[in-house]
Structure 1
Amino acid sequence: MSLVRKFATVGGATLGSRVLGFGRETLMAAALGTGPMADAFYAAFRFPNLFRRLFAEGAFNAAFVPLFAKEIEANGIDGAKRFSEEVLGVLFTVLLLITIAMEVAMPWLVSWIIAPGFDVGTEKFDVTVKLAVVMFPYLMCMSLTAMLSGMLNSLHHYFAAAVAPIFLNIALIAALGYGLWTGADPLSTAWYLSWGVLVAGLLQMAVLYVGVLHAGMRFGLRRPRFTPNVKRLLWLALPAAVTGGITQINQIIGQMIASTKDGAIAVLQYADRVYQLPLGVVGIAVGVVLLPELSRALRGGHEREAANLQNRSLEFVLFLTLPAAGALWVISDEIVRVLYERGAFSTDTTSTVAATLAIYGLGLPAFVMIKSLTPGFFAREDTKTPMRITGLSVAVNCALAVSLFPLFAERGIATAEATSGWLTATLLFITLIWRGHWNWENALAFRVVRLLIATVIMAVTLNYASAALADWLVPESPLLVQLTALMMLIGLAMVVYFSVAFLIGGADASMIRRNLKRKAKPAPPLDA
């Protein structure tokens, strides 16, 4: 299967999840708006969700995949099973102890880490603590799911791991639908959502387990033992968790600061949900597929193939994220108004969320580039270098967020996160080139410049088109009319961007054919 087709497999499943996520956030905006219960739920959910993204999109994919793949090559499927059982025994035990400790310490965690701006003793603080207690076991489910996902990715089975997050959105949409149907108050709706998160975690874990069984891997739970393989995994996983979760770490820092202003956490969440669509579809797809492909190429000594994989991935990332960033900057107001402005979501809230979203959009290419650059380190079992770079970026994010929030509120936090993202991507790229781990292509650099030109032309066109359709996009227009206008703008942007990109040489037919026809070597047979 070609590299682009693998990206499309993961990206397509992720797209389905993100579209459902939009439906979820639309219902959330109507039911809770940016009121205190919205702040309470999002603050409580951010903590276990942070760990979900650290494990599922960071540590396990970075540390487990190369070791699991190496075990298959060295000792066959029996060795891989043994390694999986060793990891599962330790992981399950550690997660159980962490979950118990966190549940007991939840009031302290909320007051010092999750939402230090919430006043202790208020209803919002108490509700946040209770909701977090219900949702925190989601961490245990998702960490085990991440291990199963790593196994499937190593065996070149990408779809099940990509489709599993859909169940979170289905569960939360069901909870919100039930709340709206019964006329539940915001507090009751928040409780429905919290139990929905826990149910979703169990469903996702079950789906991945069935996927692993279908792939031919059967394994059980062993007594926890810190074998050399497990120690190596943990040695790689801790820095990888920090690196892979740079965006989420910066978000939790932003949430801590935003908790001092009513409604700010919800504003950041609504903006985050929109830019997570291209970030998830492109970034997660590239990160999930590139790591096992790059690990396989390097294990086989195919340095030229590894270099080609890295360049094609960066090419793919920028080809899709530059226009997305331009569109988010130009029509953020229109996007937010059509998606959210109804019920408890007011016109003033639209303006605030849109301004925040526009700034996040500028950071989007960097956030996705990080996903395509870190596998260059992880595939070589180097997780410390990206962690050091991430540490510097987090420090910059903290300094900027604290400095800018009093001046620009939520926009200041978004600016800090976008700046931190670009700093991380730049340092990762420079380090790979300096070490000789990235084969620089002048042709790629010229294509990127042309893609930037195509993006600017698209953005200018989109600006005039949105003004022409302004009467269709006002809140008083029927929702169907607003959706039609928004789809027309997005369609026009795609036509202009792709036409200009191909016309001036930012993309060409040979580039598409090269990516589509590239064949990967087959995965090792399970009976090896």
Structure 2
Amino acid sequence: MENKGKVFKNTYIVSFFTFLSRIFGYLRDAAIFIFINNSQGALDSFFVAFRIPNFFRRIFGEGALSVAYIPVLTEYKAQNNNKELKEFVDSSVSIIALVLLLVTLIGVILAPLLIYLIAPGFVNSVNNQMELTTTLLQITFPYMLFICLTALAGSILNTYNKFAIPAFTGVILNVVLIFAAVYGAAFFEEPVLALAVGVFVAGILQLGFQIYPIYKLGLFPKLKIRPSHPGIKKIKELFLPIIFGSSVTQINIIIDTIIASFLITGSISWLYISDRFVELPLALFGIAIATVILPKLSLLFATKKQKILIRWLTGQLK
């Protein structure tokens, strides 16, 4: 039985790398505001464009998808049948990747409509914010594909108690955007485009960073499309109820963005910064603890040890 010390150690690891990521995140924000001119609302456009793939990331990647995926994966892992486990990973990752790719293509094509819905105040902007934001979204939207697959890979690693690699992944985005703001902006006629390209590149690097650890586990997925796989059905059953709960906060942020788009230049940037500070305590403690205990709770439930589960969870909360 896993003791409190092990949980504390894993929570500390996740919290440490989350805190490190946040430090680099604040350095990233400082670099962006220092090196990218926002007098014409360019940063407002970027934060709107970046908010849309992040909306999907937090609902699907780090929200409902991860919470629904880990219990099912844990159930297959607990059966000690590597063939069944590998077939589940192959089928689930292939189908999820295909769905994410389809959503990404639709998002890129419908970028003007998405901007119209989420930042309607940009329509009559004298700074051509609508056009710029659309371009930025078309560049950044594929980040949703990469980061959701990264979160899926992180779910697999977390299930095997390998918490450090997924927790560190957030640092990569921040470092890439710092370089994009400080060094990349000079190469673009519109400097803010460097940030959009940086987001795209960071998504690829974040996903690539987790490929080797997955490969070492023997779980690097092969393309197998099996919608009828029992594990896929279980994910669907868990996914749909969870998605409503995880959507509430993100929908509130979208509504805030809609309102801010009608206000003076810089309002969306200020809203973005305030959200960053509000999210810090939750990321350091709430999400870190949930990340560590979910695989263990799923394992106890999958092996039908409900009494031990209740006793273990109660012990961790004391």
In structure 2, how many angstroms separate the alpha carbons of the residues matched to 1:302 and 1:178?
Answer: 55
Deviation (angstroms), 1:155: 1.2
Do structure 1's residue 267 and structure 2's residue 259 form an aligned pair?
no
3-state DSSP class of the match of 1:188? coil
Q: Identify which range, 96-105 or 304-313, moves more after superposition.
A: 304-313
- Check the 8 A contact 1:25/1:273 in 2, yes or no: no
**Is 1:152–2:157 an aligned residue pair?**
yes
Correspondence for 2:28: 24
Residue type matched to 1:280 in 2? A
Match for residue 82 of structure 1? 87
Contact 2:93–2:221 (CA<8 Å) still a contact in 1?
no
RMSD: 2.2
Q: Deviations over 1:118-145 (max 9, x none)?
A: 1257511110000000000111111211
Partner of 1:278: 281
Determine which of 6, 19, 27 is the counterpart of 2:10: 6
Look up the match of 1:64: 69
1:272, distance to aligned residue in structure 2 (A):
1.7
The normalised TM-score by structure 2 is: 0.90
Rounded to whole Å, the distance in 1 between the matches of 2:258 and 2:147 is: 23
Q: How does 1:484-503 map to 2 (within 5 A)?
A: none
CA distance in 2, matches of 1:312, 1:107: 51
Question: Which fold has the larger relative contact order, with Cα–Cα distance below 8 Å and residues 6 or more apart in sequence?
Answer: 2
CA spacing shift, 1:101–1:264, aligned 2, 3 Å:
same
Q: How far is 1:52 from its partner?
A: 1.4
Q: How does 1:337-416 map to 2 (within 5 A)?
A: none
Output the CA distance in 2 between the equivalents of 1:253 and 1:293.
36
Q: Classify the secondary structure of the residue corresponding to 1:222.
A: coil
Letter of the 1:210 counterpart: Y
Instruction: Measure how far apart 1:231 and its partner are.
Output: 2.4
User: 1:34–1:267: 8 Å Cα contact kept in structure 2?
Assistant: no
Q: Aligned pair in 2 of structure 1 residues 110, 145: CA closer, same or farther (>3 Å)?
A: same
Query: What amino acid sits opposite 2:95 in the alignment?
Result: V
Q: Which runs of 5+ in 2 are unaligned?
A: none
State the Cα deviation string for residues 92-139 of structure 1 (Å, max 9, x = none). 221222111111111111101x21221257511110000000000111
Name which of structure 1's ranges 66-75 and 129-138 shifts more when overlaid on structure 2. Answer: 66-75
- Give the Cα separation in 2 of the matches to 1:243 and 1:312: 27
The residue type equivalent to 2:162 in the other structure is H
Counterpart for residue 291 of structure 1: 294
Point out the more displaced range, 259-268 or 124-133.
259-268
- The answer as to whether partners of 2:88 and 2:229 remain within 8 angstroms in 1 is no
In structure 2, the partner of 1:235 is 237
Q: Which moved more, 1:72-81 or 1:252-261?
A: 72-81
Q: How does 1:85-484 map to 2 (within 5 A)?
A: 85-112=90-117, 114-120=118-124, 122=126, 123-179=128-184, 182=186, 188-262=190-264, 263-311=266-314
User: Contact (CA 8 Å) 2:49, 2:137: kept in 1 or not?
Assistant: yes
Based on CA coordinates, which of the two structures has the bigger radius of gyration?
A: 1
Contact (CA 8 Å) 1:57, 1:244: kept in 2 or not? no
Aligned 8 A contact 2:157 2:163 in 1: yes
Bigger mean CA offset, 131-140 vs 58-67: 58-67
The 4+ residue runs of structure 1 with deviation greater than 6 A are: none
8 A Cα contact 1:40 1:128, kept in partner: yes
How far did 1:250 drift? 2.0
Which one is further off, 190-199 or 217-226? 217-226
Kindly tell me the number of residue pairs found equivalent between the two proteins.
311
TM-score, normalised to structure 1, is: 0.55
> What SS does the aligned partner of 2:263 have?
coil
Secondary structure at the counterpart of residue 240 of structure 2 = helix
Q: For residue 412 of structure 1, what is the aligned residue in structure 2?
A: none
The one-letter amino acid of 1:163's match is F
Distance change in 2, residues 1:312/1:251 (3 Å): farther
Q: Does structure 2 conserve the Cα–Cα contact (< 8 Å) formed by 1:157 and 1:215?
A: no
State the shift of 1:309 in Å. Answer: 4.8
Q: 1:171 to 1:300 in 2, by over 3 A?
A: same
Shift of 1:224: 4.9
Q: CA–CA distance in 2 between the matches of 1:243 and 1:109?
A: 22
Say which is worse superposed, 221-230 or 285-294, in terms of deviation.
Answer: 221-230
Structure 2 CA distance, aligned partners of 1:142 and 1:248? Answer: 17
The amino acid that maps onto 2:18 is: T
Identity of aligned residues (%): 31
**Cα gap change, 1:50/1:312 in structure 2, threshold over 3 Å: closer, same or farther?**
farther
Contact 2:75 2:303 in 1 (8 A): no
Counterparts of 2:72 and 2:143 in 1: how far apart (Å)? 26
Distance, in Å, in 1 between the alignment partners of 2:75 and 2:58 is 24
